[in-house]
Copies of this chain bind each other. A is one copy, B any other.
Amino acid sequence: MDKPLETIIVDSILDAIADQRLRAGTKLGEQALSDLFACNRAQVRRALATLTAYQVVDHLPNRGAYVATPTPQDARNIFQARRAIETVTCRNAVREATDDDITALRAHLAEEDAAKGRDNRPAAVRLSRGFHVLLGRIGRNPVLARYLEELTMRSSLIIGLYASGQATLCAEDEHAQIVEAIERRDEAEAQRLLDQHLRHIESGIAFDDNPPATGALSAVLGDWRG
């Protein structure tokens, strides 16, 4: 039961963006991608259209698809949207979380911790996003969860663009504190901590760098075969 190839392409690219292996501004040529995934151009084309709808890829007519480069203004708008959505998502999570959900959250925290311990930055960035996405799923509102996936993906691009040098992306224990509040079923506190966490991330962004600089596609999307 393999997935449709289009999905594999989309997910590979999204993963690479979440990991910050693919950086803002990278050109996604159709030929290059169809070579990489050993398929024809039409499938690549549809995958790129999907990514464009998700707003993580910019499509310029007659000149190709590029990983989106959010402006500082975009960044502010995206983080405001995240606060709006994650506040509700978090309240839902407090109300709906089962014991299994809490266990999953704790397991995720452990993974994050391990990645940071190993100084594995790409993994840390990906897992950090994963925490918010997981929280969204636990909230049991797929509409909000989907928007959150989109926004966190775009946030990864922003962090890659404007906070690449930064030592710390998320204060070590903010995620852990949120999980504790959820476990205590303390809605107000969980929401407060999450809002503060998001403002903290946003304030850690330096809006004056501007280094695109991107490597070869094949190096970055190498091992897509499951």
Residue numbers of A with Cβ under 8 A of B are: 4, 46, 49-50, 53-54, 61, 74, 77-78, 80-81, 83-85, 87-88, 141-144, 147, 151
Q: Is the CB of A81 within 8 A of B141?
A: yes
Closest to A74 in B: B143
Cβ contact of A81, chosen from B46, B49, B61, B143, cutoff 8 A: B143
Q: Is the interface of A mostly helix, strand, loop or mixed?
A: helix
Residues of B within 8 A of A61 (CB): 4
Q: Judging by beta carbons under 8 Å apart, are B80 and A88 in contact?
A: yes
Q: Is the CB of A81 within 8 A of B144?
A: yes
Q: How far is the CA of A29 from the CA of B141 in the complex (A)?
A: 31
Please indicate the chain B residues that have their CB under 8 angstroms from the CB of A88 in the complex.
80-81, 83-84
- B147 to A81, Cβ gap below 8 A? yes
A91–chain B nearest beta-carbon distance, Å: 10
Task: Give every chain B residue within 8 A of A46 (Cβ-Cβ).
Answer: 49
Q: Which residue of B lies closest to A141 (CB)?
A: B77
Indicate if the CB atoms of A141 and B54 lie closer than 8 Å.
no
Shortest distance between the CB of A23 and any CB in chain B (Å): 21
Q: How far is the CA of A49 from the CA of B42 in the complex (A)?
A: 13
